[in-house]
Structure 1
Amino acid sequence: MTDHAAAGVNAAQRLAAEVRAEMARQKRTAGEMAKVIGTTPHTAGRRLSGAVPFNIAELDAVAKWLGVDLASLMREPRSRAMAS
C-alpha cells in the first residue's frame, strides 16, 4: 500500500471513530444511522468501521442528525483539542 493510500485509510478510520464516539455519547445506533443515510445496516456498519469511507453527502447527513458541525468531525484530534 502506498503512503497516500495508507493515509486515506487512516483518515477514513479516524473519521469513523469520531462518528462512533459521538453516536455513543448520544446513544444512537448504526440502524438509526443507516436510515439517515439511506442505506442498509450492514453498509452503515462498514462506514462506521472505517472499512468503507463515508462520502461527503453521508457525512453531512450524519452531522446534522447528530447535531454537530461537519468540520468538527473532520478535524485532526489535536486540532479539536486546541479548538476547545
Structure 2
Amino acid sequence: MLLLASVLARRPLAGVLWNSTTGRGTAWRDDKRSRLYYDVANLTLAAIFTPTRKSETNPVSPTPTPFTYRNAYAHRRGRQTAGFRR
C-alpha cells in the first residue's frame, strides 16, 4: 500500500530511497522522465511485494512425505511408504 500511495502522491518511494542513498537530492522530482521511470519501478515493486489472497477453490497441497531412499524408490515397487517407518 505504501508504494502505491507514494506514486499517487507523486513522490515514488523508489526515487526517494535511491536518490537519498546516492546523494543526488530531489532534482529528479522536477524531471518528468525520471519521475515516470521511478513510477514504473515503484509499481513493479508493488506488484512483486503485494501479498496475494489464497484462492478458496484451490486447496493447499498436502505435506510431502519426507525424503528417504525407501520413499524415493517406492514407485518401483508399486507402493508408497508412510512417514518415517523403517
TM over 0.5: no
Tell which structure's C-alpha radius of gyration is larger: 2
* TM-score with structure 1 setting the length: 0.33
Q: Could you say which structure has the higher helix fraction?
A: 1
* TM-score with structure 2 setting the length: 0.32
